[in-house]
Amino acid sequence: MKLYLIRHGETDWNKVRRLQGSSDISLNACGRKLAELTRDGLKQIPFDAAYSSPLDRAAETGKIILKGRNLSLHMDSRLAEVDFGEYEGIREQELRDRQDPFMDFFDNPENFRKKGGAENHRDVINRAVDFLEDVVLPAEEKYKHMVIFSHGAWIHALLTKLYHRKIRDFWHAPRQENCGVSTVEVRNGECTVLEESRIFYSI
């Protein structure tokens, strides 16, 4: 089975680098266009199972990419983005200007300490692994092309697990871009990453 991990399209908060996390922010016009171009790039892939984070930006990306297909999009809260707690909505530059240690989440993952009700990297990895073991692996014999619409940190979390990386390498390149598509082969219960963050647009 092939597993396709797709990050949502752009939002206004992405554009100004505002911590988005669990905030339910919708796609902007550019984000919808990116999803449409990605749909064109994936039109030959016969998806037969589709799951999404319940957050609107991921779900709308999924609906755009799956438009015209007779396929249900199943929501699962385990696919949601990391919860930044009280840091939701703050611009990254503001945190850097005041040298807030919260930026360790991005700059120094292994030394990040939970604060303000935020999740840490291990929390997101645990959710990703739970979904992998509960939904993805048991579906190997049932489906050939499963797609998941989720978020940047969530995709990095799953890849961290699949590559057996340490938390310090959570943000290992390449960065999961908006509407970037990462592909994983699932065979005999084992997962092999084939491609990371493939882009189908040039705008």
**C-alpha to C-alpha distance for 165 and 115, rounded to whole angstroms:** 24
b/e burial code for range 95-114 (CB count within 10 A of at least 16 → b)? beeeeeebeebeeebeebee
- Please provide the size of the chain in residues: 203
The catalytically annotated residue of 8, 121, 151, 156 is: 8
Q: In the annotation, is 121 catalytic? A: no
CA 58/CA 8 separation, integer angstroms: 5
Q: Which of 10, 81, 119, 196 is catalytic?
A: 81
| Cα four-point dihedral sign 80, 85, 91, 95 | negative
The verdict on whether 119 is a catalytic residue reads: no
109 Cα distance to chain centroid:
17
CA 200 vs. chain centroid, Å, equals: 17
CA distance 84 to 6: 21
Q: Angle 121-131/152-162 helices, nearest 10 degrees?
A: 70
Residues with catalytic function: 8, 81
